[in-house]
Each structure stands twice: as structure tokens, then as C-alpha cells.
Amino acid sequence: METQSRLALIARLEAAIHECLKDHVPAEEPLAILDFPDIRNCGDSAIWLGEMAYLAARHGKRPAYVSRLDDFSARQLERAMPSGPIFIHGGGNFGDIWGAHQDFRERVLELFPDRPVVQLPQSIHYQSPERIEQSARAIGRHRNFTLLVRDEESKAFADRHFDCAIKLCPDMAFAIGPVEPAGPTLPVLAMLRADREKAGDADLSAWPDLPVEDWITESPRSVQASKAFGAASALLSLKPAELRLAKLDAAAHNRFRRGIRQISRGRTIVTDRLHVHICSLLIGRPHAVLDNSYGKVRRFMAAFSGGTDLSYQAKSLGDGIAWARQVAGDIAGKAAA
């Protein structure tokens, strides 16, 4: 991939998102987005905010119905929008690593056989052949399902196994656009996964002075306060759907701001999280990138985001740290000159 500026990359990927989605967003009918990520991971909130930003900027729309996994109601969806497409939140949970999300999307396909259903960009990973067959049956029965995927390997997998429309599409977080960061306070910050997608237990003993964090720690009180504020801002609408959307949007903004503040502290960053990579591009921060447990980060960079001088695909944790320290030193030296 030819090296380009981050602003050109962000603009190009947002335009590619529009090319994938423009024919699926109706001008007159309402739409729904399901599976809001009410979780601590800031990256999922970045995806959600990109989805909202895309609909607003390109179509002047907000969803008529949104839900989390645990408060979805088919009856409420039909009441809020008797017609129109259903979109399912994007991310990296298509498959059997995060089974509850796959169960949910297959349930949606079963409940709404006559509605267009669009899966926003996902990475695909299965471990069980039986689970692949189950998903293939659910998709095959629906006949009006569009699957957007974030990398070539996911597209090839979907082409082999699923009978539906399949498109390669960038991650929705790029629709947020460039983000202004805070000033750095650390030379290097390591943002490494602490969940089931981590590539292994990294031995960090060689770098005892290196700050190592993840971005799945949050203050429940802060999130609840943001939801309450969001609901208060929508009280005049008196519409339950607007109240719910305002609360969830506020929580997503709270988490996204927390993530941006956290990674902005590093003059350079080392990470194995896809959305630390994406958000580092949005804020213009140099970063070394390691892969997650099943190749999601590498695959996405190969398809879309590996073409700037800001990101370095490290061969190992030590290689990534060495690169980040060298770049941080160079930046500090230029600033002092």
C-alpha cells in the first residue's frame, strides 16, 4: 500500500464506507441499529459513534430504534418503524469467540425474514465447523442479508460459506474523522489487550519502566452520569426511542473521550488493539502495532489502514517498543531543537 497522509487516508476510507452503504440507507423510510456496545471497550464506542456520524453527515438521519443485546424488543422495533432496514452494529464479534452476539444476529434474521438486514463491518472468526453451519443456515433462510466485512480473509471466508451479499468495507470508526488529541505526558505507552483476544501473556520484565494499560477499565458512576445527562437532553421529545438513543449515545461519547484521553498521553504507542491503531490514526499519533490472537489487526491493516508513516507493524513486542522509543526520542529531540 502506497504511503499517504493520515488525513487523506481517513477521507478515502470514509468515502469507501459511503460507497458500501449508500444504497442501503433509505431516503424516506426509518432504520434501526441493534446491538449497541454498552461495554467498557472504548473501541466499540468508536465504531458506534462512526455509525452515528456517517448517518448524520451523509444522510441526515438518526435511527428510529436502537437496542442493546439485553433490552431488544421486536414489538418495540415494529412499533417504532413498521418498515425499513435493520442494521447490526459492526466490530469483531462475527463468529463463535463472542457467541452471544452471533446468537443475537441470527435471532434477528429469524424474527425479520422480510426486512433488509445489514451487518455493519465485521471481522469473522470461527473455531467450530458446526457453528459455521448454523450461521450459514440462518443466513441462507433470510435471503435479504448484506454482510459487510473488514478484511480480505473475512470476505473470502464469507464467500465460501454464506449465501448473501458480501462487501469489503472499512471500519465505521473512520467516519468520525480526525480528532484533536491532548498533549503527551509519556514517551511510550503500551496499550495491550487483557481479554480473550490477546495474542499471549507478554513478558514485560525487560521493560519495568514501561507503562502498560488496557482501555477496558472505566468508572461505572461516570458512565451512568453521562447516560442521565443524555436522557435529560432528550426529555422534550417525549419519545422512548429518542430517550434511549440519547442515553446510549452519551455513554458512547463518554467512553470514546476516555479512550482518546488515555492514548493521547503517549508520545508514541505500542498496541495489539485494532481500535487503538485506528484511534491513533484519528489523533495523528505514531504507534507500533502487534496482532491480536487470530490476525484481525494484521488483516485490517493489509486491507485498509497500513499506508501511513504513523503506524509500524512490529515483528515482536520488543521490536515494537524499540521502534516506539526511537520515534519518541526523535520527536522530543526535534521539539527541543
Mind listing the pLDDT tens digit of every residue in the chain (337 residues)?
Answer: 345 699 999 999 999 999 999 999 999 999 999 999 988 889 999 999 999 999 999 999 999 999 999 999 999 999 999 999 999 999 999 999 889 999 999 999 999 999 999 999 999 999 999 999 999 999 999 989 999 999 999 999 999 999 999 999 999 999 999 999 999 999 999 999 888 777 767 778 889 999 999 887 644 565 465 545 444 554 555 566 688 888 899 889 999 999 999 999 999 999 999 999 999 999 999 999 998 878 889 999 999 998 889 999 999 999 999 999 999 999 988 887 7
3-state SS, residue 129:
helix
Q: Which domain holds residue 272?
A: 186-336
Q: Pull the grid cell for residue 199.
A: 495474542
Whole-angstrom Cα distance, residue 153 to residue 303?
Answer: 9
Q: Does 223 lie in the same domain as 171?
A: no
3-state SS, residue 111:
helix
Whole-angstrom Cα distance, residue 53 to residue 47?
Answer: 10
Q: Does 99 lie in the same domain as 44?
A: yes
What CATH number is attached to the domain comprising 149?
A: 3.40.50
Q: Does 153 lie in the same domain as 217?
A: no
Do 259 and 43 touch, CB atoms closer than 8 A? yes
Whole-angstrom Cα distance, residue 315 to residue 297?
Answer: 13
Do 125 and 95 touch, CB atoms closer than 8 A? yes
Residue 1, pLDDT score: 36
To the nearest 10°, report the CA torsion of 15, 263, 298, 284.
40
Q: Does 291 lie in the same domain as 166?
A: no
What's the CA angle centered on 332, arms 331 and 335, to 5 degrees? 90
72, 108, 217, 227, 253 from 77: Cα distances, Å:
8, 11, 32, 21, 24
Among 113, 147, 176, the domain boundary falls at 176
8, 164, 289 from 159: Cα distances, Å:
30, 8, 28
In terms of Cα–Cα distance, which of 291, 293, 317 is closest to 306?
A: 291
Residue 217, pLDDT score: 65
In the block, residue with C-alpha cell 458500501: 20
Q: Does 193 lie in the same domain as 172?
A: no
Within a domain: 1: no
Q: Which residues contact 235 (CB under 8 A, 6 or more apart)?
A: 243
Where on the phi/psi map is residue 238: left (φ > 0), alpha (ψ -120 to 50), or beta?
left
Within a domain: 234: yes
In terms of Cα–Cα distance, which of 231, 264, 236, 330 is closest to 42?
A: 264
Residue 148, pLDDT score: 98
Do 128 and 158 touch, CB atoms closer than 8 A? no
Q: Pull the grid cell for residue 153.
A: 480473509
Q: Pull the grid cell for residue 273.
A: 488493539
Within a domain: 58: yes
Q: Does 50 lie in the same domain as 140?
A: yes
